[in-house]
Amino acid sequence: MMKRDIFTSGFGVLAATLGSAVGLGNIWKFPALTGLNGGAAFLVIYLLSTLMAGLPVMIAELMLGRRSRSDALTTFRVLHPQRESWGLIGAVGVLSAFLILAFYTEVAGWVFAYVFKSVTGSILSTDPTVTSAAFAKLIADPVQSIFWQFLVIIFVGCIIVAGVSKGIEKTTKRLMPMLFLILVMIGIRSLMLPGAAEGLTFLFRPDFSKVTGAVVLTAMGLAFFKLSVGMGTMITYGSYFTEDQDIPMTALRVMVADLTVSLLAGIAIFPAVFTYGFKPEAGPALLFITIPAVFSQMPFGTIFVVLFFVLGAIASTGAMLSIMEVPVAYLHQRFGLSRFKATAMTVVLLALVGSTAALSNSTLAGFKLFGMTMFDLYDFLTSNLLLPLGGFFLSLFAGWVWGEKKVRSALSNEGTLANRTVVSFFLFQVKYVAPVIIIVILLRGLKLI
Ligand code: PFF
């Protein structure tokens, strides 16, 4: 049997797992969705979904992955050979990986482009109509869109080829501390602005009048997307954990750190938005149109714009590594392909699927399914449907199918950790709370009940 490459240290485990969770979700999706859906009210629902659905599913995934020491699909075959159909969770997970990467690499492509363009100054202006035109020009240009996306895909592919410990672990260990440092710097700068109080009020005072079934589903979808759960990413990473790693504790730490990054991003963005009279409801454009305009108005603004996009590039890299690892680990283990071949196949396939998202604002702008461009469709399908569904079945599998005794011994590291209460609480969550909440929110959000 091939020797499995695994994460080598506790800090490596944390950096890689947190690197997966922290990403464009924190600085692109979280502020955009919070701004669109009523600020703190959305934040509260997102927090509850994270605690009650996201966290238990994350623990379940890490646990199953470490037990099986296998990829997202094979895990179910190893742990429950009696019934092959559970493997569908992993199969849908691999599909989700491609769909998420398709639009994610495009947004990351814009971020990488903006690092370059903010250094050269070509996207900088204090006038939002100018920054808006600059962004429109980038996304409407098929050549640039494809160029930046492919660049990102190849970049991530190169790190993946280097392996689990020498590629993923080494990279994220270096990047994560940098990310925190930059974020804190921008946050402090933003808090010194005159509109800071108004921005913070927006972020922390709830307005429940905006909350509908669809908004609740969006908040739960964000919770899954944020923690990278519901599609086998954490199963795959769990399979690289050492046996002595405390899984519930690691998951909790990652969740807290990830929330901190989102809040810091909110604290960096909203005060600035209010200070210069912008609207928080700008949606996805917040990052690419509002941020350059807002930050350009501050003294030393250019430096902060550059820093902000470097932050985005760092954050997105750790997340993309973890998503790409899902199909690569599967191809590697299941078909015995070398890491290089498995990555090359993934990269080529991804370039094909991804280009349909990249061209959504240009060549394929008129091509819509269910009224959405491919870019929007992949985003909607994964966050609001496939991840919650994956989370639902994962919690059923971990809570009801695999067996309580096995869960107890897996999460207590065969009784060596004194965490009985924590594990009992987890079992209750994963058996009753998570599946019920997920299915109710899902059906209601889709207007099926
Ligand atoms: N958690 C990442 C973010 O918030 O940007 C995105 C992500 C990574 C989603 C890995 C899903 C996944 F499997």
Is the alpha carbon torsion for 87, 381, 447, 43 positive or negative? Answer: positive
Ranges in the chain, pLDDT < 50: 1
Give CATH for domain 10-445.
Answer: 1.10.4160
The Cα–Cα gap between 393 and 91 comes to: 13
Q: Does the beta carbon of 383 lie inside 6 Å of ligand 1?
A: no
Per residue in 291-340, pLDDT (tens digit) is 888 888 888 888 989 998 999 999 999 999 999 999 999 999 999 999 99
Gap between the Cα atoms of 375 and 370, Å rounded: 12
Among 226, 316, 320, 328, which is best to mutate for testing ligand 1, by the most ligand atoms less than 8 A from CB? 226
Find, among 234, 231, 219, 221, the residue nearest to 19 by Cα: 234
Residue 36, pLDDT score: 86
- Per residue in 157-166, pLDDT (tens digit) is 999 999 999 9
The token pair that represents 199 in the structure block: 């921005």
DSSP secondary structure, 148-189, as one string = HHHHHHHHHHHHHHT-IIIIIIHHHHHHHHHHHHHHHHHHHH
Q: Please, what sign has the CA dihedral across residues 147, 150, 152, 158? A: negative
Exposed e or buried b per residue across 225-252, where buried means at least 16 C-beta atoms within 10 angstroms of its C-beta: bbbbbbbbbbbbbbbbbeeebbbbebbe
The mean pLDDT of the chain is: 94
φ/ψ of 39, rounded to 5, equals 60, -125
The reported pLDDT for the residue numbered 2 is 60
Which residue is closest in CA terms to ligand 1's atom 13?
228
Amino acid letter for position 184: V
Ligand 1 pocket: which of 20, 101, 156, 258 to mutate (most atoms within 8 A of CB): 20
Distance 318 CA to ligand 1 centre (A): 9
Residue range 97-142, pLDDT digits in tens: 999 999 999 999 999 999 999 999 888 888 888 988 999 999 999 9
Residue 381: the pLDDT is: 96
DSSP code per residue over 335-353: H---HHHHHHHHHHHHHHH
